Amino acid sequence: MNYKDKFIEYLRKERRYSEYTVKGYDDNIDDFIKFMSARNINVLEVSKDDIREYLKYLDSLNFKNATIVRRLSSLRSFYNYLVSNNLIKSNPMKLIKNPKKEKKLPNFLQYDEFMKLLESIKNDDALSIRNKLILELLYATGLRVSELVNIKIKDIDFSNKVIKTLGKGSKERLVYFGDYAKELLDVYINSERNELLNGKVSEYLLINNQGGHLTARGVEDIIDRIVNEASLKHKISPHVLRHTFATHLLDNGADLLSVKELLGHESLKATQIYTHITEERLRSVYLHSHPRAKK
Protein backbone atom coordinates (compact mmCIF):
# COMPACT_ATOMS: atom_id res chain seq x y z
CA MET A 1 0.00 0.00 0.00
CA ASN A 2 1.51 3.39 -1.00
CA TYR A 3 1.47 6.56 1.13
CA LYS A 4 -1.62 7.96 -0.63
CA ASP A 5 -3.59 4.79 0.02
CA LYS A 6 -2.43 4.78 3.65
CA PHE A 7 -3.69 8.35 4.01
CA ILE A 8 -7.09 7.37 2.59
CA GLU A 9 -7.26 4.44 5.04
CA TYR A 10 -6.35 6.85 7.85
CA LEU A 11 -9.29 9.09 6.91
CA ARG A 12 -11.62 6.11 6.74
CA LYS A 13 -10.56 4.20 9.86
CA GLU A 14 -9.06 6.74 12.25
CA ARG A 15 -10.84 9.96 11.32
CA ARG A 16 -13.96 7.93 10.48
CA TYR A 17 -14.95 10.18 7.60
CA SER A 18 -17.93 9.13 5.52
CA GLU A 19 -17.28 7.22 2.28
CA TYR A 20 -18.63 10.23 0.39
CA THR A 21 -16.03 12.53 2.01
CA VAL A 22 -13.22 9.99 1.64
CA LYS A 23 -13.96 9.64 -2.08
CA GLY A 24 -13.70 13.42 -2.46
CA TYR A 25 -10.24 13.42 -0.86
CA ASP A 26 -9.17 10.42 -2.94
CA ASP A 27 -10.28 12.03 -6.22
CA ASN A 28 -8.67 15.39 -5.37
CA ILE A 29 -5.31 13.84 -4.46
CA ASP A 30 -5.34 11.50 -7.47
CA ASP A 31 -5.85 14.46 -9.78
CA PHE A 32 -2.92 16.30 -8.17
CA ILE A 33 -0.65 13.23 -8.41
CA LYS A 34 -1.52 12.72 -12.10
CA PHE A 35 -0.77 16.40 -12.83
CA MET A 36 2.65 16.18 -11.16
CA SER A 37 3.48 12.77 -12.67
CA ALA A 38 2.81 14.12 -16.17
CA ARG A 39 5.54 16.69 -15.45
CA ASN A 40 7.92 14.12 -13.91
CA ILE A 41 7.58 15.75 -10.48
CA ASN A 42 7.74 13.59 -7.36
CA VAL A 43 4.78 14.42 -5.10
CA LEU A 44 7.13 14.17 -2.09
CA GLU A 45 9.35 16.89 -3.60
CA VAL A 46 6.89 19.49 -4.93
CA SER A 47 7.78 23.15 -4.64
CA LYS A 48 5.66 26.24 -4.16
CA ASP A 49 6.02 26.97 -7.89
CA ASP A 50 4.82 23.45 -8.78
CA ILE A 51 1.68 23.98 -6.74
CA ARG A 52 1.11 27.38 -8.34
CA GLU A 53 1.26 25.70 -11.75
CA TYR A 54 -1.39 23.26 -10.55
CA LEU A 55 -3.56 26.19 -9.45
CA LYS A 56 -3.20 27.76 -12.90
CA TYR A 57 -4.31 24.43 -14.38
CA LEU A 58 -7.41 24.35 -12.15
CA ASP A 59 -8.17 27.94 -13.08
CA SER A 60 -7.90 27.06 -16.79
CA LEU A 61 -10.67 24.50 -16.23
CA ASN A 62 -12.90 27.35 -15.01
CA PHE A 63 -13.34 25.76 -11.59
CA LYS A 64 -15.09 27.94 -9.05
CA ASN A 65 -13.00 29.26 -6.18
CA ALA A 66 -14.95 27.12 -3.71
CA THR A 67 -13.97 23.98 -5.67
CA ILE A 68 -10.30 25.03 -5.69
CA VAL A 69 -10.43 25.71 -1.94
CA ARG A 70 -11.76 22.17 -1.34
CA ARG A 71 -8.93 20.71 -3.43
CA LEU A 72 -6.33 22.71 -1.54
CA SER A 73 -7.86 21.61 1.75
CA SER A 74 -7.51 17.95 0.69
CA LEU A 75 -3.87 18.52 -0.24
CA ARG A 76 -3.09 20.32 3.04
CA SER A 77 -4.46 17.39 5.02
CA PHE A 78 -2.53 14.95 2.82
CA TYR A 79 0.78 16.77 3.29
CA ASN A 80 0.19 17.19 7.02
CA TYR A 81 -0.18 13.40 7.16
CA LEU A 82 3.09 12.97 5.23
CA VAL A 83 4.89 15.29 7.66
CA SER A 84 3.50 13.51 10.73
CA ASN A 85 4.69 10.17 9.28
CA ASN A 86 8.20 11.54 8.55
CA LEU A 87 7.84 11.14 4.80
CA ILE A 88 8.60 14.83 4.21
CA LYS A 89 10.07 17.54 6.44
CA SER A 90 7.56 20.36 5.88
CA ASN A 91 4.16 20.94 4.31
CA PRO A 92 4.56 22.84 1.00
CA MET A 93 0.86 23.74 1.12
CA LYS A 94 1.53 26.11 4.03
CA LEU A 95 3.01 28.54 1.52
CA ILE A 96 -0.18 28.59 -0.58
CA LYS A 97 -3.11 30.88 0.16
CA ASN A 98 -6.69 30.02 -0.70
CA PRO A 99 -8.43 32.03 -3.42
CA LYS A 100 -11.24 34.12 -2.01
CA LYS A 101 -14.56 32.34 -1.97
CA GLU A 102 -17.28 33.89 -4.05
CA LYS A 103 -19.98 35.37 -1.86
CA LYS A 104 -22.94 33.37 -2.94
CA LEU A 105 -26.13 32.70 -1.03
CA PRO A 106 -27.13 29.03 -0.96
CA ASN A 107 -30.09 27.98 -3.08
CA PHE A 108 -33.28 26.91 -1.36
CA LEU A 109 -36.83 25.99 -2.32
CA GLN A 110 -40.05 27.79 -1.59
CA TYR A 111 -42.47 25.55 0.30
CA ASP A 112 -44.77 25.22 -2.73
CA GLU A 113 -41.77 24.11 -4.83
CA PHE A 114 -40.96 21.41 -2.28
CA MET A 115 -44.60 20.27 -2.38
CA LYS A 116 -44.46 20.18 -6.17
CA LEU A 117 -41.51 17.78 -5.93
CA LEU A 118 -43.36 15.52 -3.49
CA GLU A 119 -46.58 15.53 -5.47
CA SER A 120 -44.76 14.60 -8.69
CA ILE A 121 -44.01 11.16 -7.18
CA LYS A 122 -46.75 8.57 -7.53
CA ASN A 123 -47.46 6.24 -4.61
CA ASP A 124 -47.80 3.20 -6.82
CA ASP A 125 -44.69 1.11 -6.02
CA ALA A 126 -41.92 0.52 -3.46
CA LEU A 127 -39.38 2.78 -5.21
CA SER A 128 -41.86 5.66 -5.31
CA ILE A 129 -42.52 5.38 -1.56
CA ARG A 130 -38.79 5.21 -0.88
CA ASN A 131 -38.13 8.26 -3.07
CA LYS A 132 -40.86 10.25 -1.36
CA LEU A 133 -39.34 9.26 2.01
CA ILE A 134 -35.92 10.51 0.86
CA LEU A 135 -37.33 13.96 0.07
CA GLU A 136 -39.37 14.08 3.25
CA LEU A 137 -36.44 13.10 5.47
CA LEU A 138 -34.00 15.54 3.86
CA TYR A 139 -36.47 18.38 4.33
CA ALA A 140 -37.66 17.27 7.80
CA THR A 141 -34.20 16.76 9.32
CA GLY A 142 -31.67 18.88 7.43
CA LEU A 143 -29.37 15.85 7.17
CA ARG A 144 -26.41 15.81 4.83
CA VAL A 145 -26.83 13.19 2.09
CA SER A 146 -23.90 11.18 3.54
CA GLU A 147 -25.71 11.11 6.89
CA LEU A 148 -29.03 10.19 5.31
CA VAL A 149 -27.75 7.11 3.49
CA ASN A 150 -26.01 5.85 6.63
CA ILE A 151 -29.14 5.82 8.81
CA LYS A 152 -29.65 2.37 10.29
CA ILE A 153 -33.00 1.11 11.52
CA LYS A 154 -31.62 0.93 15.07
CA ASP A 155 -30.78 4.68 14.91
CA ILE A 156 -34.46 5.65 14.67
CA ASP A 157 -36.56 6.32 17.79
CA PHE A 158 -40.06 6.11 16.32
CA SER A 159 -41.98 7.02 19.45
CA ASN A 160 -40.05 10.28 20.01
CA LYS A 161 -39.46 10.90 16.27
CA VAL A 162 -35.70 11.23 16.65
CA ILE A 163 -32.79 9.92 14.57
CA LYS A 164 -29.27 9.50 15.93
CA THR A 165 -26.66 10.34 13.30
CA LEU A 166 -22.90 10.69 12.95
CA GLY A 167 -21.92 13.93 11.28
CA LYS A 168 -18.56 15.33 10.21
CA GLY A 169 -15.67 14.03 12.28
CA SER A 170 -17.93 11.29 13.67
CA LYS A 171 -19.68 13.82 15.88
CA GLU A 172 -22.95 12.34 17.10
CA ARG A 173 -26.11 14.43 17.13
CA LEU A 174 -29.86 14.02 17.20
CA VAL A 175 -32.20 15.18 14.45
CA TYR A 176 -35.96 15.29 14.60
CA PHE A 177 -38.74 14.47 12.16
CA GLY A 178 -42.43 15.21 12.09
CA ASP A 179 -45.70 13.39 11.55
CA TYR A 180 -45.50 13.40 7.73
CA ALA A 181 -42.08 11.72 7.77
CA LYS A 182 -43.21 9.26 10.46
CA GLU A 183 -46.20 8.20 8.39
CA LEU A 184 -43.97 7.52 5.37
CA LEU A 185 -41.40 5.71 7.53
CA ASP A 186 -44.09 3.40 8.89
CA VAL A 187 -45.36 2.52 5.40
CA TYR A 188 -41.86 2.09 3.96
CA ILE A 189 -40.41 -0.04 6.80
CA ASN A 190 -43.45 -2.24 7.28
CA SER A 191 -43.93 -3.04 3.60
CA GLU A 192 -41.95 -1.41 0.81
CA ARG A 193 -38.46 -1.86 2.30
CA ASN A 194 -38.98 -5.64 2.54
CA GLU A 195 -40.05 -5.68 -1.10
CA LEU A 196 -36.84 -3.87 -2.12
CA LEU A 197 -34.69 -6.20 0.01
CA ASN A 198 -36.20 -9.18 -1.83
CA GLY A 199 -35.02 -11.66 0.80
CA LYS A 200 -31.69 -9.94 1.53
CA VAL A 201 -30.74 -8.54 4.94
CA SER A 202 -29.53 -5.00 5.64
CA GLU A 203 -29.20 -2.81 8.73
CA TYR A 204 -29.58 0.36 6.63
CA LEU A 205 -32.84 2.23 6.19
CA LEU A 206 -32.53 3.12 2.51
CA ILE A 207 -32.31 0.25 0.02
CA ASN A 208 -31.58 0.42 -3.71
CA ASN A 209 -33.44 -1.44 -6.45
CA GLN A 210 -30.99 -4.36 -6.20
CA GLY A 211 -31.69 -4.93 -2.50
CA GLY A 212 -28.41 -3.30 -1.43
CA HIS A 213 -27.42 -0.17 0.49
CA LEU A 214 -28.41 3.04 -1.34
CA THR A 215 -25.44 5.40 -1.86
CA ALA A 216 -25.17 9.19 -1.78
CA ARG A 217 -24.66 9.18 -5.55
CA GLY A 218 -27.82 7.12 -5.87
CA VAL A 219 -29.79 9.72 -3.89
CA GLU A 220 -28.45 12.51 -6.12
CA ASP A 221 -29.56 10.61 -9.23
CA ILE A 222 -33.01 9.99 -7.74
CA ILE A 223 -33.48 13.69 -6.96
CA ASP A 224 -32.35 14.66 -10.47
CA ARG A 225 -35.05 12.40 -11.92
CA ILE A 226 -37.71 13.79 -9.57
CA VAL A 227 -36.78 17.37 -10.51
CA ASN A 228 -37.14 16.50 -14.21
CA GLU A 229 -40.53 14.88 -13.58
CA ALA A 230 -41.70 17.92 -11.62
CA SER A 231 -40.45 20.27 -14.40
CA LEU A 232 -38.69 22.58 -11.93
CA LYS A 233 -36.25 24.81 -13.77
CA HIS A 234 -33.44 25.26 -11.26
CA LYS A 235 -30.81 22.79 -10.08
CA ILE A 236 -31.81 20.93 -6.92
CA SER A 237 -29.46 18.72 -4.95
CA PRO A 238 -29.74 17.03 -1.53
CA HIS A 239 -27.83 20.00 -0.11
CA VAL A 240 -30.45 22.41 -1.47
CA LEU A 241 -32.99 20.58 0.71
CA ARG A 242 -30.66 21.05 3.70
CA HIS A 243 -30.52 24.78 2.91
CA THR A 244 -34.31 24.79 2.58
CA PHE A 245 -34.68 23.14 6.00
CA ALA A 246 -32.53 25.83 7.67
CA THR A 247 -34.11 28.76 5.82
CA HIS A 248 -37.69 27.71 6.57
CA LEU A 249 -36.89 27.21 10.26
CA LEU A 250 -35.45 30.71 10.53
CA ASP A 251 -38.30 32.20 8.49
CA ASN A 252 -40.75 30.70 10.96
CA GLY A 253 -39.08 31.99 14.11
CA ALA A 254 -36.38 29.45 15.05
CA ASP A 255 -33.32 30.95 16.72
CA LEU A 256 -29.90 30.72 15.08
CA LEU A 257 -28.27 28.64 17.86
CA SER A 258 -30.96 25.96 17.60
CA VAL A 259 -30.59 25.79 13.81
CA LYS A 260 -26.80 25.52 14.26
CA GLU A 261 -27.24 22.46 16.49
CA LEU A 262 -29.82 20.87 14.19
CA LEU A 263 -27.48 21.26 11.21
CA GLY A 264 -24.49 19.93 13.16
CA HIS A 265 -22.35 23.01 12.42
CA GLU A 266 -19.14 23.39 14.43
CA SER A 267 -19.41 27.17 14.62
CA LEU A 268 -22.18 29.76 14.44
CA LYS A 269 -20.38 31.42 11.51
CA ALA A 270 -21.35 28.54 9.21
CA THR A 271 -25.01 29.00 10.14
CA GLN A 272 -25.09 32.78 9.83
CA ILE A 273 -25.22 32.64 6.02
CA TYR A 274 -28.89 31.69 6.38
CA THR A 275 -29.68 34.98 8.10
CA HIS A 276 -28.66 36.72 4.86
CA ILE A 277 -31.19 34.63 2.96
CA THR A 278 -34.01 35.53 5.32
CA GLU A 279 -32.98 39.21 5.24
CA GLU A 280 -33.15 39.15 1.44
CA ARG A 281 -36.59 37.57 1.59
CA LEU A 282 -37.81 40.19 4.07
CA ARG A 283 -36.48 42.95 1.83
CA SER A 284 -38.21 41.40 -1.18
CA VAL A 285 -41.50 41.10 0.71
CA TYR A 286 -41.23 44.71 1.87
CA LEU A 287 -40.49 46.08 -1.59
CA HIS A 288 -43.31 44.03 -3.05
CA SER A 289 -45.90 44.72 -0.39
CA HIS A 290 -45.49 48.18 1.11
CA PRO A 291 -47.51 50.81 -0.78
CA ARG A 292 -44.78 53.43 -0.43
CA ALA A 293 -41.71 51.23 -0.92
CA LYS A 294 -41.35 52.26 -4.57
CA LYS A 295 -42.64 55.09 -6.73
CATH number for region 111-287: 1.10.443.10
Task: Confirm whether 23 is a catalytic residue.
Answer: no
pLDDT tens by residue, 138-179: 999 999 999 999 999 999 999 999 999 987 777 888 999 999
pLDDT in the model for residue 159: 94
pLDDT in the model for residue 170: 75
Give the number of C-alpha atoms closer than 13 A to the C-alpha of residue 64, restricted to the C-beta side: 7
Report CA-CA distances (Å) from 83 to 20, 78, 250: 25, 9, 43
Q: Which of the residues 79, 81, 188, 274 is marked catalytic?
A: 274
Q: Which of the residues 12, 213, 265, 281 is marked catalytic?
A: 265
Cα 166 to Cα 147: distance, rounded to the nearest angstrom = 7
- Mean pLDDT of the region 5-33: 91
Residue ranges of the domains in the chain?
A: 3-95, 111-287
Q: Which of the residues 23, 70, 76, 168 is marked catalytic?
A: 168
CATH class of 3-95: mainly alpha
pLDDT tens by residue, 83-102: 999 888 888 988 888 887 65
pLDDT tens by residue, 30-74: 999 999 999 999 999 999 889 999 999 988 888 888 889 899 999
Q: Which of the residues 144, 193, 243, 248 is marked catalytic?
A: 144
Task: Confirm whether 276 is a catalytic residue.
Answer: no
- Mean pLDDT of the region 4-17: 90
Task: Confirm whether 239 is a catalytic residue.
Answer: yes
Task: Confirm whether 274 is a catalytic residue.
Answer: yes
Task: Confirm whether 265 is a catalytic residue.
Answer: yes
